[in-house]
Amino acid sequence: MTKEHHPTTDHDAPPPASLRRITPFMWRFMAAICAIAWIANFDYGFSGIVLAMPSFNQAFGSVCTRQLDAVSGVATEVCRLSSLQQSLLSVSALFQALGAALSGVTGTFVGRRGTVMIGAALVAVGAAGMLGTSQSYLNYMVCKCINAAGTGQLFVVGITYGTESAPPDQRGLLMGIYNVALTVGNAIAAGVCAGSAKLSPTNDWQWRVPIACQIPLSVLLVATFMFFPDSPRWLIVRRKDDDARVALAKFFDLDQHSEAVTAQMDIIAAAIEAETHTKSSSAWISIYRPPNLRRTLVSAFMLVTLQITGIQFVAPYTALFLSSLGVASPFTTHAIVSVCIFAGSLVSPWVLDNVGRRLSLLYGYAIAACSMFIFSAVGSTLGTGSTITQRVLVAFLCIWAFVFGGAISASSWLTSAEVHAVHLRTQGQANTQAFASVFSFAAQFWTPYMIAAIGTSVGYFYAGVTIVTLTIAIFLVPETARLTLEQIDTLFNSGTPAWRTTMARNKQMNLPCPWRPDT
How far is Cα 15 from Cα 259, in angstroms, rounded to an integer? 11
Dihedral of the CA atoms 323, 329, 332, 335 (nearest 10)?
-20
Residue 11's SS3 state is coil
CA distances in angstroms from 105 to 118, 140, 156, listed in the order given:
12, 28, 12
Mean pLDDT of the 182-199 span: 86
Q: Which residue has the higher pLDDT, 175 or 421?
A: 421
Residue 104: pLDDT above 60? yes
Q: Are 498 and 476 in contact (CB under 8 A)?
A: yes
How far is Cα 46 from Cα 207, in angstroms, rounded to an integer? 9
CA distances in angstroms from 342 to 58, 138, 194, 411, listed in the order given:
32, 33, 16, 15
Handedness of CA 184, 314, 302, 340 (dihedral sign): positive
The full DSSP string for 171-199 is: HHHHHHHHHHHHHHHHHHHHHHHHHHTTS
Q: What is the CATH number of the domain that holds 136?
A: 1.20.1250.20
Q: Say what the pLDDT of residue 509 is.
A: 74
Q: Are 146 and 95 in contact (CB under 8 A)?
A: yes
Residue 493: pLDDT above 70? yes
**Element containing residue 78 per DSSP (H, E):** strand 75-80
Residue 7: pLDDT above 50? no
Residue type, 122: L
Q: Which residue has the higher pLDDT, 416 or 452?
A: 416
Which of 120-124, 186-190, 479-483 has maximum average pLDDT?
A: 120-124
Residue 514: pLDDT above 60? no
Contacts of 359 (CB under 8 A, 6+ apart): 479, 503
Report DSSP state, residue 19.
Answer: G
Residue 449: pLDDT above 70? yes
How crowded is residue 398: how many other Cβ atoms within 10 Å of its Cβ?
A: 20
Between vectors from CA 205 to CA 202 and to CA 210, what angle results, nearest 5°? 135
277 lies in a domain? no
- Could you tell me the residue range of the domain that residue 60 belongs to? 17-228+282-509
**Element containing residue 359 per DSSP (H, E):** helix 357-382
Max CA pair span of the chain: 87
237-286 tens-digit pLDDT: 889 999 999 999 999 999 999 988 998 898 888 877 776 665 544 567 88
Report residue 224: phi and psi, to 5°: -65, -45
How far is Cα 271 from Cα 264, in angstroms, rounded to an integer? 11
How far is Cα 11 from Cα 269, in angstroms, rounded to an integer? 9
How far is Cα 58 from Cα 73, in angstroms, rounded to an integer? 19
Instruction: Supply the mean pLDDT for the chain.
Output: 86
486 lies in a domain? yes
Q: Are 55 and 207 in contact (CB under 8 A)?
A: yes
How far is Cα 397 from Cα 371, in angstroms, rounded to an integer? 7
How far is Cα 512 from Cα 519, in angstroms, rounded to an integer? 6
Q: What is the pTM of this model?
A: 0.75
31-66 tens-digit pLDDT: 999 999 888 888 877 877 788 888 998 888 888 887
Could you tell me which residues are beta bridge partners of residue 68? 75
Residue 27: pLDDT above 80? yes
Report DSSP state, residue 80.
Answer: E
Which of 1-10, 201-210, 325-334 is predicted least confidently? 1-10
Residue type, 396: F
How far is Cα 340 from Cα 335, in angstroms, rounded to an integer? 9
How far is Cα 510 from Cα 491, in angstroms, rounded to an integer? 14
Contacts of 431 (CB under 8 A, 6+ apart): 101, 104, 284, 287, 296, 299, 300
- Three-state SS sequence of 449-489: HHHHHHHHHHHHHHHHHHHHHHHHHHHHCCCCCCCCHHHHH
Q: Which residue has the higher pLDDT, 172 or 197?
A: 197
Mean pLDDT of the 95-102 span: 91
Helices (H), 383-424: 387-403, 409-418
Report the number of distinct structural domains present in the chain: 1
61-86 tens-digit pLDDT: 888 887 766 666 677 788 888 878 87
Residue 9: pLDDT above 50? no
Residue 434: pLDDT above 60? yes
Residue 8's SS3 state is coil
113 lies in a domain? yes
114-154 tens-digit pLDDT: 999 999 999 999 999 999 887 788 899 999 999 999 999 99
Contacts of 429 (CB under 8 A, 6+ apart): 103, 104, 156, 159, 160, 299, 416, 417, 420
How far is Cα 402 from Cα 460, in angstroms, rounded to an integer? 19
How far is Cα 402 from Cα 482, in angstroms, rounded to an integer? 24
Q: Nearest-CA neighbor of 412 among 437, 441, 434, 432?
A: 432
Q: Nearest-CA neighbor of 155 among 48, 43, 36, 47?
A: 36
CA distances in angstroms from 223 to 185, 217, 227, 300, 422, listed in the order given:
19, 10, 8, 32, 28
Q: Say what the pLDDT of residue 70 is.
A: 62
Residue 1: pLDDT above 60? no
